[in-house]
Structure 1
Amino acid sequence: MKAINQNVFLFLFSLFSLVVFAQPKNEAILGTVKGTVIDSNLKQPIPYATIVVNDSSKKIISGGITTEGGTFVIADIPKGTYTLQVQFIGYTTYTQEIQITKQNSHLNLGTILLKEQVESLDDVTIVAERTTIEQKIDRKVINVGKDLTTTGGSAAEIMNNIPSVNVDQDGNIALRGNENVRILIDGKPTNISASQLLKQIPSSSIKKIELITNPSAKYNPEGMSGIINIVLHKNSNIGFNGNINMGLKVRKNARFNSNIDLNYRSGKINVYGSYGANASKSKNYGFVYKENDNTRQDFLINDNNKSHLLKVGVDYYINDKNTLSVYTNQNIYDGKTNVDTEINFLSAPENNIAQILRNNGDNTSASYNLDFKHDFEKEGHNIELEIDYNDYEGESNDAFSFNNRGGYVDTIDNDRQNTTINLDYVNPLSETTKLELGYEARIRRTDNQYASTFFPSSKYEYDRNIHFLYATYGSTFEKWAYQIGARVESYEVEATLNENKVFEDDYITVYPSAFISYTPGEKNSYQISYSRRVDRPGLNQVNPIREWSTPRITSLGNPSLDPQFTNSIEANYTRRLNKGSITGGVFYRLVNDEISQTLIKNPEVEDGQILTFANFDNNSAYGIELSSNYRPAKWWNFNASFDLYSQTQKGIVDGKQKEVDAAIYSIRMNNNFKVSKDLTFQLFGFYRGDQEGIQFKTKPFYFVNAGARYNIMKGKGTLSFNYNDVFNTMRFRFEGEDPYRQNGAFKAETQTIFVGMSYRFGGGKNRKVSRKRRDDNEKSGGGLL
């Protein structure tokens, strides 16, 4: 492993050396033009604005895009007179004549002010008709359009439409084929499990989804496959305005979701709030067949869940240099689950067992955020303090009965507190270089109490303190940009069971990262990056208190799990076309001590199994990702993606060394057909091939969705209809040999009809506050890139 790390660092060092010491050609007839693009109202930089240099025949000579600080440098412009244009959506195009001569070959245009287009201001607040995908320096941004929000009720149903993301039958989410992914809401961690969280967020509350596969050193290194940041809508228009969304999904059971956003802005104060609600009933059924004892377990699962999500915030613009912001997220969940399990001994039916589980679970999660930002005199020079506190309280009550006779009751109380403190300092040392320094603390306290009328009671406590220091340095020159950084972490964890210490660990480690990008013109961009990441065991993975059980299977955590570390390198290419764009990428990652779910024999139950977690050996994976956004005709546009991953897994299963090489692939395509100005039809298809793991092989599945949208009330309202899983083919099937030869399948209530309506009211000019969202750099990408 040390040799591999040394080779990686030698490669990166050599690459950086070539870039840093490369010198431009010394040709007197070539010139350079630079400047800074600023919003004329907010006096803030506009990143990713397009710069185009045309000759007298309007032929494009050169071009580029602005950095996060709004700066640009266009080099290698031949001697002559040209027209320079600055373009950005929602703004009036800026045009200026420039002249390159031998005497004046290096032009500094200074500050360029872009004005918002009056005729497009109303459109800015409307959710886009179609989803768009942007490839940025360190992330892929999916701007969620009506074609996704009209697919159904929750974030979980949107995720399977996103390139590189998969959600399984139980709601577990995977990025690039791996479930070790970190979920953030508005750039913040949450105490709610990812599968439960995705079910609680209404689809209409989501503004965009960011896939951050190689975050810079500025951001938390957790998550082997990366970070999925779900950004919720926040309205910042002047005056009073808002929007409301409602949807109903039906088959045998009904699911209702609604969301309302309100905003009032006047002078120095901006007040905003949103409320979303989900109410759903669903059915899930399946079976597991074991060959060794010729038994079949049949499951029937009925869920009845209600959730409420409230967000309220205030931005106070103290003056031009200081901004204070506060907000709170409140999440309330109440769920009931009935699980009927039958174990049928096909060779001896007199031994059949029936178990009935009645679960009552509710939880509340509250987060409070305070942010203060001070801007110094120099543009882009600032310091920011952010404090975030999250409190979670949950209670679960499980009543078990067997063969319609008496049983027992389990009760679990779960309390968690997360405190996060960030202090960030940004200093543009020059127009082309930026230095960022910072400190971060993440303090977690968890208290789990288990009581049972049959089993012994227990108490599990899990405390974790993490402190970080980071530094990043970035620079741009000509058409190149690079950023290097490192994050130093101090980690302490302690776990106790019934007041007895069961696990303790502490260490100090470093997480380096590096990015290089090359943008030769407005149509092509290249990017390569490297990062080291960590996956620390989650609470459910280390909690030795059983999570659920059937007569044959018990689920619980493993308190002895070690963290897994990942070294990842990837390269991406984006080609902008006249009618769309194509993005391609390749990646490679090496994982040490991979954490994976495993089935082991239960010594206390005959033919029983324990579903838990274990550290497997090293794992390597590589993959290819292709996505496109294209409009073949005015009435037709589509998004398509293809993902192919290959991985090697090694580990000990049932006392035997095992190694598996597997390839995983998936294909998505979303078509939008515009029949008229107001009517649009949609057709979405998905296919995923089989996936072989170290214990199980999952079989292929596919599904097709069809829908329509109709704009009403002069575009302020939208009616939508969607028929999900048209052919009723979405199901989870698997087979395996260890520790027993078995196979099974599960099917949820996926074939549904959705009808919805959205309406926007109020108006006003859009002037969004430019405060950073943490891990949401996770807004900016960090550095100058």
Structure 2
Amino acid sequence: MLRSAVLTFALTILLCTCVRAQTVISGRVVDQGGGQPIEFATVLLVEAASGSGIGGTTTDASGYFSLDTESGGVYLDISFIGFETRRMEGLDLSGKTLELGVIELTARGQTLDEITVRAEKSTTEFKLDKRVFNVGKDLSSTGASALQVLNNVPSVNVTIEGQVQLRGSGGVQILINGKPSAIASEQGNLLGTITADMIESIEVITNPSAKYDAEGTSGIINIVLKKEDAKGLNGAISVNTGTPDNHSVGLSLNRRTDKFNLFSQLGVGYRELPNEERTENRNLLSGQTVFSEGTEYRNELYYNAVLGTDYHINARNVITLSGNFSYEVEDQPSLNNFRLTDASGEAMSTWRREEVTEATNPKYQFELAYKRDFEDHEDHDLLVSALGTLFSKDQSSEFTNTTLSGEDRDARQRTRTNFGEQENTFKIDYVRPVSERVTVETGTQYVTNDVNNDFSVSNFDGLDFLVDPDLTNVFNWDQRVLAFYGTGAYEYEQWGLKVGLRAERTKLETLLETTNEANSQTYTNLFPSAHTSYKISEGVSVQAGYSRRIFRPRLWDLNPFFNPRNNFNLRVGNPNLQPEYTDSYELTSVFLLGETSLNLGVYHRYTTDVVERVTRFEENVSITTPLNIGTNRSTGIELNAKVIPAEFMTITGDLNYNFFARQGELEGTSFDFSADQYSGKVTTKFDLPLDFDLEVTGQYRSAFQTVQAEVSDQLFADLGVRKRLFDGRGAVSFSVRDLFASRIQESVIDRADVYQYNRQLRGRFITLGFSYGFGKGETMQYGGQQRRM
């Protein structure tokens, strides 16, 4: 009994000693510069005596926080990336609640007495095979998007519509942390949801080393993200309309938490792509000529959905998983008018050919990647990734010939296409700094392509449609490419050297099932590369590089069956086509002069087994086929510059001139000749009053010669205007592609026996759009799916 009483008394004393009233501390954290709420700011409760954290929380989307404490003698440390930490001391915890009101955080580089940004300037440094643009606080503290950061990188230009160009050319491969990503895919632009404060640096590679695919692009841009957490929710919504019909709605989202980076996009749209075409096939022996003229359309209703995440297991391990589904419904109402004349120019027959085509195109894409950062060095990495794409097309077409005068040309024809393609890429990349000056890289890649194209043509005999066995077949194309590579780099102060070797084994098999025509090719190639750079001063560097490249025939280079839209001008593939190889040499000097960046380079490329499209004529019908013909030596000079002559103006210019010598022979005919070609492009951007942006682009490409044809020059212009709204979060944009409808593609083949003239014009495209970015998302346009076939 006594023991029980003592225990009860002791527990009572203990409870009275330990329990004190709780105090709820709350407040709202905002940006001192503009009063904007700061989401995911850290609020840390610290014991004053020991300086140890004893609790904490983060702010919500409105900047609010709330936490409970039973302790006395505490203070709060409130912090967020890019801002000075704010300490709240002398807290009165005598009541049940403590409302701190609005708490302002000051951006780093600012003082309360003098609101001036002492920003770390973004800088460009030159490394062996690339240029690295380090993102400073002048950009990272502004809330700019990845697109705006890219626009500050020398040699890189981003149009008002969000297209990324390198040295004036599109077709740039954009990587995120060294790997392909749905965020950077042209099929759905999510780059606007990445903000500048997420970006560590931008790497620009114009002459890729042996680490990268031997099949090249116009360049590689790698966006390296920081490893900090808790960036909040960013996104953008876009609505566009235009003529010819081009309407779309897109929503892009990016949410970063302590463990996850979630990204998604939803989009739907409809567009028309007309193509005015005119051809003339003149038989100089018989005197007969076939004229055709008409407009071909490709209309699409498309849907697109992207969903993915980066899961940060811990500070050094991250897994990426993403998926992309798109679905297109095609309609191709086309009409061509034909006229056949005799040697005197009199019409022998006139008729029209109408096309009705319907198709559905589903596409699936997935990405799975794992990246490991080792503790001993920030550049010691392991990356394992898998990327898969499945695409299919079910298409049916009907062509109707209607005689208008002269000889009877009435006919009906149907085609059917059941197409399927699966492509998978598996990669392992390992980077290991051996010392402060030496780095080695090694890895492997395996790419599989499996294609099945079931194509059928049927002709109407008056009662029924009968299959044409000469134009009907099942084409199978299977390609396997296994690659291994290794590179070694040495960097010493201003100078460095990087060498590498890539080995690729390609196995290609094609089969025409109906006629049992098979072709099998297996070849192994070595692709060496060497790069060096020398930094003369902070603003002047010289880079030199060599790489060996390959162009493997694509599906449509090999597939002998095509849609006979214009049955007097046919395209057919060549299942026996061989790859072409190029040795590429480049010497580039880079100058940074204040706000001006200048790149001057010379290059030489030697290509063997050049793939050329050769046209032959049979009974007034032209048939164009790709063939391997000889060699090509091209030497050129390239100049590109980015100049900021005034705060409101940026000028980007590109100039390229090359002289080439072709040597080749086909069926006893020599194709030896020499010629030159040049092109130029100037883009001027104006930052106008009332938050208007104006962008004008002029481009010229000279005429040039191919093995058979003379291709005419082109001169055209694009225009874009944007009005920023809601303090830059929203924008209305207006753009005109090919302002004067002058981007005409013309070619002439003039031989002793035949003359062919071909002219194509896409025409003027006008687009009006509205976009709104939330969080720190950039206002941007959703362009939908990129056309595949």
Q: Same fold (TM over 0.5)?
A: yes
Q: Contact between 2:128 and 2:497, CA under 8 Å: does it hold in 1? A: no
**Partner amino acid for 1:395?**
D
Distance 1:230 1:692 in 2: 36
Describe the shift of the 1:230–1:498 C-alpha distance in structure 2 as closer, same or farther (beyond 3 A).
Answer: farther
Q: Contact between 2:192 and 2:236, CA under 8 Å: does it hold in 1? A: no
**Partner amino acid for 1:559?**
P
Distance 1:231 1:654 in 2: 49
Partner of 1:626, secondary structure, is strand
**Residue deviations 1:413-472, cap 9 Å, x none?**
111111111111111001111011111111121111112323123111111111111100
Aligned 1:71-150 pairs, distance under 5 A: 88-91=134-137, 120-125=140-145, 127-128=147-148, 131-134=151-154, 142=156, 144=158, 147-149=160-162
Greater CA drift, 644-653 or 461-470: 644-653
Describe the shift of the 1:543–1:726 C-alpha distance in structure 2 as closer, same or farther (beyond 3 A).
Answer: closer
- Tell me what 2:353 maps to: 355
Aligned match of 1:371 in 366, 369, 393? 369
- Tell me what 1:651 maps to: 664
Q: Following TM superposition, by how much is the alpha carbon of 1:745 offset from its aligned partner in structure 2, in angstroms? A: 1.8
Q: Following TM superposition, by how much is the alpha carbon of 1:713 offset from its aligned partner in structure 2, in angstroms? A: 0.5
Q: Contact between 1:202 and 1:278, CA under 8 Å: does it hold in 2? A: no
- Tell me what 1:297 maps to: 292
Distance 2:743 2:131 in 1: 48
Unaligned runs of at least 5 residues, structure 2? 1-79, 83-122, 195-200, 404-409, 460-467, 779-789
Partner of 1:540, secondary structure, is helix
Greater CA drift, 646-655 or 533-542: 646-655
Task: Report whether the alignment pairs 1:527 with 2:543.
Answer: yes
Greater CA drift, 615-624 or 648-657: 648-657
Describe the shift of the 1:291–1:410 C-alpha distance in structure 2 as closer, same or farther (beyond 3 A).
Answer: closer
- Tell me what 1:640 maps to: 653
Describe the shift of the 1:545–1:733 C-alpha distance in structure 2 as closer, same or farther (beyond 3 A).
Answer: closer
Distance 2:392 2:130 in 1: 44
Task: Report whether the alignment pairs 1:476 with 2:474.
Answer: no
- Tell me what 2:718 maps to: 705
Distance 1:407 1:217 in 2: 53
Distance 1:302 1:757 in 2: 27
Q: Following TM superposition, by how much is the alpha carbon of 1:579 offset from its aligned partner in structure 2, in angstroms? A: 2.1
Task: Report whether the alignment pairs 1:453 with 2:458.
Answer: yes
Q: Contact between 1:238 and 1:764, CA under 8 Å: does it hold in 2? A: no
- Tell me what 1:382 maps to: 381
Distance 1:239 1:204 in 2: 16
Describe the shift of the 1:203–1:610 C-alpha distance in structure 2 as closer, same or farther (beyond 3 A).
Answer: farther
Greater CA drift, 522-531 or 541-550: 541-550
**Partner amino acid for 2:308?**
G
Q: Contact between 1:202 and 1:257, CA under 8 Å: does it hold in 2? A: no
Partner of 2:385, secondary structure, is strand
Q: How many residues align?
A: 623
Partner of 2:671, secondary structure, is strand
- Tell me what 2:420 maps to: 415
Task: Report whether the alignment pairs 1:618 with 2:631.
Answer: yes
- Tell me what 1:266 maps to: 257
Describe the shift of the 1:254–1:503 C-alpha distance in structure 2 as closer, same or farther (beyond 3 A).
Answer: same
Partner of 1:350, secondary structure, is strand
**Residue deviations 1:691-713, cap 9 Å, x none?**
21111111122122333222111
Q: Contact between 1:691 and 1:697, CA under 8 Å: does it hold in 2? A: yes
Distance 1:539 1:723 in 2: 33
Unaligned runs of at least 5 residues, structure 1? 1-39, 43-62, 73-86, 93-116, 136-141, 150-154, 167-172, 174-181, 191-196, 766-785
Q: Contact between 1:211 and 1:227, CA under 8 Å: does it hold in 2? A: yes
**Residue deviations 1:535-561, cap 9 Å, x none?**
111110111223435231221100111
**Partner amino acid for 1:363?**
N
Distance 1:89 1:566 in 2: 35
Q: Contact between 2:229 and 2:257, CA under 8 Å: does it hold in 1? A: no
- Aligned-pair Cα RMSD in Å: 3.6
If the length of structure 2 is used for normalisation, what is the TM-score? 0.72
Partner of 2:537, secondary structure, is coil
Aligned 1:753-768 pairs, distance under 5 A: 753-763=766-776
**Residue deviations 1:464-517, cap 9 Å, x none?**
111111100001002011110001112211111116252111122211001001
- Tell me what 1:343 maps to: 338
**Partner amino acid for 2:633?**
S
Q: Following TM superposition, by how much is the alpha carbon of 1:400 offset from its aligned partner in structure 2, in angstroms? A: 1.3
Q: Which has the larger radius of gyration?
A: 2
Partner of 2:431, secondary structure, is strand
Describe the shift of the 1:623–1:351 C-alpha distance in structure 2 as closer, same or farther (beyond 3 A).
Answer: same
- Tell me what 1:52 maps to: none
- Tell me what 1:744 maps to: 758
Distance 1:460 1:580 in 2: 53
Q: Contact between 2:131 and 2:203, CA under 8 Å: does it hold in 1? A: no
Distance 2:151 2:559 in 1: 39
Aligned match of 2:236 in 235, 243, 248? 243
Q: Contact between 2:370 and 2:383, CA under 8 Å: does it hold in 1? A: yes
Q: Contact between 1:163 and 1:668, CA under 8 Å: does it hold in 2? A: no
- Tell me what 2:277 maps to: 286
**Partner amino acid for 2:756?**
Q
Describe the shift of the 1:313–1:527 C-alpha distance in structure 2 as closer, same or farther (beyond 3 A).
Answer: same
Distance 2:264 2:188 in 1: 15
- Tell me what 2:729 maps to: 716
Describe the shift of the 1:356–1:237 C-alpha distance in structure 2 as closer, same or farther (beyond 3 A).
Answer: farther
Q: Following TM superposition, by how much is the alpha carbon of 1:575 offset from its aligned partner in structure 2, in angstroms? A: 0.7
Distance 1:336 1:233 in 2: 41
Partner of 1:291, secondary structure, is strand
Describe the shift of the 1:88–1:616 C-alpha distance in structure 2 as closer, same or farther (beyond 3 A).
Answer: closer
Partner of 1:741, secondary structure, is strand
Distance 1:70 1:702 in 2: 32
Greater CA drift, 719-728 or 241-250: 719-728
Q: Share of identical aligned residues, percent? A: 23
Task: Report whether the alignment pairs 1:256 with 2:247.
Answer: yes
**Partner amino acid for 1:520?**
I
- Tell me what 1:425 maps to: 430
Greater CA drift, 488-497 or 352-361: 352-361
**Residue deviations 1:609-667, cap 9 Å, x none?**
21111001011112211111111122222111111122222334675212232211112
**Partner amino acid for 2:525?**
T
Q: Contact between 2:193 and 2:236, CA under 8 Å: does it hold in 1? A: no
**Partner amino acid for 1:625?**
E
Q: Following TM superposition, by how much is the alpha carbon of 1:749 offset from its aligned partner in structure 2, in angstroms? A: 2.3
Aligned match of 2:169 in 157, 165, 168? 165
Distance 1:536 1:422 in 2: 20
Aligned match of 2:303 in 302, 308, 317? 308
**Partner amino acid for 1:562?**
Q
Q: Contact between 2:714 and 2:744, CA under 8 Å: does it hold in 1? A: yes
Distance 1:525 1:728 in 2: 41
Describe the shift of the 1:663–1:306 C-alpha distance in structure 2 as closer, same or farther (beyond 3 A).
Answer: farther
Distance 2:150 2:445 in 1: 37
Q: Contact between 1:132 and 1:629, CA under 8 Å: does it hold in 2? A: no
**Residue deviations 1:54-100, cap 9 Å, x none?**
xxxxxxxxx9838699999xxxxxxxxxxxxxx953438xxxxxxxx
Describe the shift of the 1:719–1:68 C-alpha distance in structure 2 as closer, same or farther (beyond 3 A).
Answer: farther
Distance 2:693 2:475 in 1: 54
**Partner amino acid for 1:401?**
T
**Partner amino acid for 2:448?**
I
Describe the shift of the 1:763–1:185 C-alpha distance in structure 2 as closer, same or farther (beyond 3 A).
Answer: closer
Partner of 1:128, secondary structure, is helix
- Tell me what 1:5 maps to: none
Distance 2:583 2:303 in 1: 39
**Partner amino acid for 2:384?**
L
Q: Contact between 2:274 and 2:762, CA under 8 Å: does it hold in 1? A: yes
Aligned 1:463-502 pairs, distance under 5 A: 463-498=478-513, 500-502=516-518
**Partner amino acid for 1:244?**
I
Partner of 1:134, secondary structure, is coil
Describe the shift of the 1:692–1:210 C-alpha distance in structure 2 as closer, same or farther (beyond 3 A).
Answer: farther
